[in-house]
Chain A
Amino acid sequence: MPIRLRVDGLGASRGEDPIFREFCLVLDAGGALLVTGRNGTGKSTFLRTLAGLYPADSGTILLEGATDPTAPVRESLHYLGHRNAMKRDLTVAENLVFWARFSGQAGDPAKDADDALEVVGLGGLGHLPFGYLSAGQQRRAALARLLVAHRPVWLMDEPTAALDTASERMVEALIAGHRATGGIVIAATHQALDVPGAQMLTMSGFAVTA
């Protein structure tokens, strides 16, 4: 059964100030949403609210067609935040294998990690400590984390931060690949990402226009 992400009447606020209110969204399998807006308009908070990391004032988030309908939606999400969630003292491969195992991914994590690194253009660098990589390489390694464990919905906060133009194309390819297999992508960005057929959401302080 194909999945469908349904967000109804979602609202969140920072202290007393509302960031967004009564937000509704339906995304079918293969769908994508690009969130744009200036700094400080609440793009990150919006994604964190969807991920269940920031408390919502109101509204519901539902994932229809999930493997386990009773489980919280956050378990079907991949969240790529500003920070890369990698340990500097462990090697890139160790980091990825850990996240694969910790996310409950079956199969051979070591091989998956190698494959994922190949996809993001870090093939053969798995043996290096994560701290040795440059900022752009670290970001790409963090993107590889999305590939080692399967989650139907990807939430990406500035996925192209610190990346060069070639790597931006790589991110677009990753997003396209995930949508082609029936996944959903929600990405916040202030760089022009080429995501064909994506819904657009522009955040501008209090008012939200979808």
Chain B
Amino acid sequence: MMALYLRDLKLATRAGGGALTGILFFMAVVAVVPFGLGPDLKLLAQVGPAMLWIGALLASLLGLDRLFQAEREDGALDMMLMQETPLVLTVFVKCLAHWTASGLPLVLVSPLLGLFLNMEPTAIFATMLTLLAGTPAITLIGAMGAAVAVALPRGGLLVSILVLPLVIPVLIFGVSAAYAAVEDPAPFLPPFMILTAITLFFAVIGPAAAAVALRASSE
């Protein structure tokens, strides 16, 4: 399993991998916000956590459609379906590698973008923490969409459309936890715990559902 994890990381970082593209997209989305809203620093600070979350959400959906499609195109998916290793585990490890290569970098650059949006240090830290807890859920949910759309020739956009409604709870609790850290009356922990629970829940459901979909679509 370590072999699969390392291989996917190698593929993501080697020439042609999509790791850099996701970060760039994230930065571009956040950079566009001040043009739309106007450069009012107070306003930017207020919408900052939400903007970071939406940017990270869109950026992490970006490369997801290739998660299984690349394996299918060169026939590697067939081998994975035939192994002794449970397919659920294979899917989970692929998700983990995908998150390490494209989700984690988003978390790491988010404080920098927080500065651009004139956010308070506590808000930046809270947003980063919620992103760290929440982005794995996006990848795991996205894996289901990617598995469903794996046999479609142009499934890329479809994956995003399929996945977006499912990730809305992640967005809701991620953003509300980030705001709770800044605004006094609301407590930070309850929404954050729910966010973590969502991630853990989909760590179980996501790979299982994706594995079923992959088996069904192989022919």
Interaction A to B: yes
Interface contact A102-B82, CB-CB below 8 Å: no
Q: How far is the CA of A54 from the CA of B14 in the complex (A)?
A: 33
A residues contacting the other copy or chain, number (CB 8 A): 29
Q: Are B16 and A102 in contact (CB under 8 A)?
A: no
Smallest CB separation, A47 vs chain B (Å): 11
Q: Cα distance A96–B2 when bound, in Å?
A: 15
B9 to chain A, nearest CB (A): 12
Name A102's closest neighbour in chain B (CB-CB): B3
A79 touches B11 (CB 8 A): no
**A26-B10 Cα distance, complex, nearest whole Å:** 43
Bound complex: CA of A52 vs CA of B84, how far in Å? Answer: 13
How many Å lie between the Cα of A104 and that of B2 in the bound state? 11
Question: Is B84 a contact of A71 with CB atoms below 8 Å?
Answer: yes
What is the chain A residue whose CB lies nearest that of B16?
A: A89
For residue A112, CB closer than 8 A to chain B, the reply is no
| Given contacts A71-B84, A75-B82, A102-B3, A94 and B74 within 8 Å (CB-CB) | no
B11 touches A75 (CB 8 A): no
Cβ of B24 under 8 Å from chain A: no
| From B74, B83, B219, contact of A48 by CB (8 A) | B219
For the complex, what is the distance from the CA of A52 to the CA of B81, rounded to whole Å? 9
Looking at chain A's contact residues, the main secondary structure is: loop
- B80's nearest neighbour on chain A, judged by CB, is A102
Across the interface, which residues of B come within 8 angstroms of A81, CB to CB? 75, 78
For the complex, give the distance between the alpha carbons of A83 and B77 in Å. Answer: 10
Give A95-114 interface residues, CB cut-off 8 Å to B.
Answer: 97-99, 101-104
Contact flag A82-B3 (CB < 8 Å), given A75-B84, A77-B82: no
Contact status A98-B3, CB under 8 Å:
yes
Q: B3–A87 contact, CB under 8 A?
A: no
Q: How many contacting A-B pairs (Cβ < 8 A)?
A: 72
Interface hits, B131-186 → A, CB 8 Å: none
B residues within 8 A CB of A48?
Answer: 219
Contacts of B43 in A (CB 8 A): none
| Minimum CB–CB distance for A74 against chain B, Å | 5
Instruction: Out of B2, B14, B15, B74, name the residue touching A84 (CB < 8 Å).
Output: B74
Docked-complex contact B73 and A83, CB < 8 angstroms: yes
Instruction: List the B side residues contacting A103 at CB < 8 Å.
Output: 83-84
CA distance A90 to B3 in the complex (A): 13
In the complex the two chains form, is A90's CB within 8 Å of B10's CB? yes
In the complex, residue of chain A having the shortest beta-carbon distance to the beta carbon of B7? A98
How many Å lie between the Cα of A126 and that of B11 in the bound state? 17
Q: Measuring CB to CB, which residues of chain A are less than 8 angstroms from any residue of chain B?
A: 48, 51-55, 71, 74-75, 77, 79, 81-90, 94, 97-99, 101-104
27 contacts between A and B (CB under 8 A): A53-B78, A53-B81, A53-B218, A54-B219, A55-B219, A74-B81, A77-B82, A81-B75, A81-B78, A84-B74, A85-B75, A86-B74, A86-B76, A87-B7, A87-B74, A87-B76, A89-B15, A89-B17, A90-B11, A97-B3, A98-B3, A98-B7, A101-B3, A102-B4, A102-B79, A102-B80, A104-B83
